[in-house]
Amino acid sequence: MNETDSSTTRSKSAQQTRASERVSAQRKSTPRMLRTILLGTVAMVAGIIWLGDQYGVERQETIELMLASAGFVLGLTAAGVLGAVFIRLLRHVFNRRG
């Protein structure tokens, strides 16, 4: 084995080590990400309720508007997922024929 081969081997093993470190770091960061999403959502809801109180909007009305907004977003998400499933089914059917 010459010097070039050994440096190539070292380079590949270093890349594999870095890749495994990244995967490990991503797995460890999943609970952190979920915690951040939860805390951000709680802060946003509290901020909207506080803002509604500051502008004289009744708390019940503010909560109803937030729920309506959440329902709208979930409806759009569901429509997108159903559209993607429909397109995938169409591709499956047409690929089977061809």
Average pLDDT in the 7-32 region?
Answer: 72
Higher pLDDT: 98 or 35? It is: 35
3-state secondary structure 57-98: CCHHHHHHHHHHHHHHHHHHHHHHHHHHHHHHHHHHHHHHHC
Question: Is the pTM value of this prediction over 0.85?
Answer: no
Quick check: 79 pLDDT over 80? yes
Quick check: 62 pLDDT over 70? yes
Average pLDDT in the 42-67 region?
Answer: 96
Higher pLDDT: 66 or 96? It is: 66
Higher pLDDT: 1 or 45? It is: 45
